[in-house]
Amino acid sequence: MQSNVEQTATDALRILSIDGVQRANSGHPGMPMGMADIAAVLWSRFLIVDPDNPTWLDRDRFVLSNGHGSMLLYSLLHLSGFPITIDDIKAFRQLGSVTAGHPERDPALGIEMTTGPLGQGFATGVGMAIAEAHLRSVLGADLVDHRIYGFVSDGDLMEGVAAEAASIAGHLQLGKITYLYDDNHITIDGTTDLAFTEDVGARFSAYGWHTIAVDGHDREAIAAAIEAANVDPRPSLIRCRTHIGFGSPNKQDTSGSHGSPLGEDEIALVRNALGWDLPPFEVPDEVYDFYRSGLDRGREARAAWVARRDTAFADDPAAADRFALYFDPPRIHLAAPHYEPGSSVATRVISGAVLQDAAASVSGLIGGSADLTPSNNSRIEASSDFTGADRAGRNVRFGVREHAMGAIVNGITLHGGVRGYGATFLVFSDYMRPAVRLGALMGAPAIWLWTHDSVFLGEDGPTHQPIEHLAALRSIPNLQVVRPADPTEVAVAWEIAVNSTDRPTALVLTRQGLPVPANPPDRDLVARGAYVRRPGSDVVLLATGSEVPLAEQAADRLAQRGVSARVVSMPCIEIFVEQDESYQAEVLGAGLPIASIEAGSTFGWERFTGREGLRIGIDRFGLSAPAGAIAVELGLTPEGVEERVIAWLAG
């Protein structure tokens, strides 16, 4: 039953949020005012989290997909006893504050993921649900059994990434998802009917979701809807009809309350309308008691979980070891698969072999491809598919949903206990870029497998041939892009990926075969991002991936013309530039002229070649032809490289 203290606690969310926005003179007050009833019900009656142990692994996950309403989350966390203080609320959107403009991932503060780009939180939560279901299957419900709750907006549901994620969530019957939709009928441009008139409930029902429509200000109706959602085997969308800017006499139900402070005069009217007579940032003790006692539910759940865990481990020591493989995995070493020296093997094929070793060594490795599994060599052969009936499977069939795959893999990885990977052609990283960027921003160590990495995929032509993609991906901070050239480099690339803990890794792999070297490189040097593959004293040929053997062949031809060419393989620029300056100088040579060689855009290579250096690459779109013909046409042959280098050195 609704109580006076619950009403006060609900209004406290509204007032604290609008005060924080007003003090910052920046932010979005309308959503917190409109969703306060929903938030009060969820946090005080249902959400199972422990403010004293925010990173407890069996907590419910809460995702604020409509991250522009961040002050609502910060107010909830502060009032509930998480380590966000009233001074943090006052410092909203200020330099160095933990209360950033949009929530930035910090599980120790109760912020599960970075949100703001609409649709990403919705889709990432689907990944969290996959992780929960898989871990519950392999470790048991006594150790893993929680829900994923999320707040979503009209904007989230308009974005294509959410549509893709909703489709796969329904297909996989991810019943631990409960999303509450802020159906306030307002966007920045005006009313939603300017651009959004579909029947959202019917759409989600068609996806296989359980849908309910309620008054978003009737707390008992909201509670009943959440109860119904939590017992339904399907993912649930609760459509909450709300009023943006609720309580504002002049700005309620207008876009004017969406993204701008209400102003002191309007805030005074809101205080009067809600009967709130306290000064800014002052909250009654009973409100703190309401939220903090409500989350005693989480404290009790965690204590019960610890007791179950300790009993299970005492009864079966092997269970403790199995649990540690997921939540405290050791660093692993991956051996390079053997191929006959001189034979030709595509790095995507080598990667498929190394993946099997990685999956055997990393119990929590789970992922798949966007409908390109045979092409990406991305299947874990020793495992089944993850399905609605088989949660223990480790192969996720993402379908043709690259947008959602990116965010879902982030969610799998952010959840903890599992490591997500996703695969497609490199050219389709364009579809994934928002999620890849967000994963790098969060430090989520997801793994991306991108094959068919250059024009040498051949006849499919320029629509499928990546040109600018390597340069674009390398421009993303905190993303390590690894383009290996041989079995050793592929094995080290996978090793880097699975051992990383604070940044994602992209493995960029060839369709075409590359020669297997007779003398494998030193894997410790490979792990430093770049190394001298072949000594030389006149010029440096700096190459990656499929262009490393091209550089070696060109070096042979240059030697016949009296030019001593050093060949440097640089599988990962990001790791190499982190090495000490003495190692970098040792690899690149002191004052040697440098020519870069890569079958892609030359943009960015000037950081190594300098403005006067030679950059051999492709600064145009590709063409449809067999790979050999493309190489000749674009000058990416040993002869073509040789002539370019000779002309440049003579120049």
Distance CA 217, CA 70 (A): 20
Taking a C-beta distance cutoff of 8 angstroms, is the pair 324, 313 a contact?
A: no
Give the Å distances, CA to CA, from 528 to 331, 481, 573, 595.
17, 13, 9, 20
- Which two three-digit tokens encode residue 13? 């969310």
3-state DSSP of 288-327: HHHHHHHCHHHHHHHHHHHHHHHHHHHHCHHHHHHHHHHH
Candidates 180, 120, 171, 125; CA nearest to 147 is: 125
Taking a C-beta distance cutoff of 8 angstroms, is the pair 464, 427 a contact?
A: yes
Distance CA 227, CA 539 (A): 70
Beta carbons within 8 Å of 261's beta carbon, 6+ residues apart: 18, 21, 22, 24, 25, 26, 27, 29
- Which two three-digit tokens encode residue 345? 């093997």
DSSP H stretches of helix in 475-572: 487-499, 523-526, 547-559
3-state class (DSSP) for residue 524: helix
Taking a C-beta distance cutoff of 8 angstroms, is the pair 466, 389 a contact?
A: no
- 112, 132, 402, 552: which one is catalytic? 402
The secondary structure of 120-164 as a DSSP string is HHHHHHHHHHHHHHHHHHHH-TTT----EEEEEEHHHHHSHHHHH
Taking a C-beta distance cutoff of 8 angstroms, is the pair 53, 142 a contact?
A: no
Candidates 109, 173, 123, 181; CA nearest to 151 is: 181
Taking a C-beta distance cutoff of 8 angstroms, is the pair 586, 421 a contact?
A: no
How deeply is 423 buried, as exposed, middle or buried, from its count of CB atoms within 10 A (0-12, 13-18, 19+)? Answer: buried
Distance CA 642, CA 541 (A): 10
Distance CA 651, CA 649 (A): 5
Distance CA 506, CA 496 (A): 10
Q: Which residue has the tokens 């790791």?
A: 575
- Which two three-digit tokens encode residue 253? 């139900």
Sort strands 531-534 and 565-569 into parallel, antiparallel or unpaired.
antiparallel
If you count them, how many residues does the chain have? Answer: 651
Task: Read off the amino acid at residue 607.
Answer: R
Task: Read off the amino acid at residue 334.
Answer: L
Strand partners of residue 596: 542, 615
264 is catalytic: no
Distance CA 334, CA 650 (A): 44
Find the helix or strand (DSSP H, E) in which 36 lies: helix 30-41
DSSP letter at 256?
G
Distance CA 112, CA 102 (A): 12
Return the CA Rg of the chain: 27
3-state class (DSSP) for residue 58: coil
Distance CA 171, CA 83 (A): 38
Which residues are catalytically annotated? Answer: 402
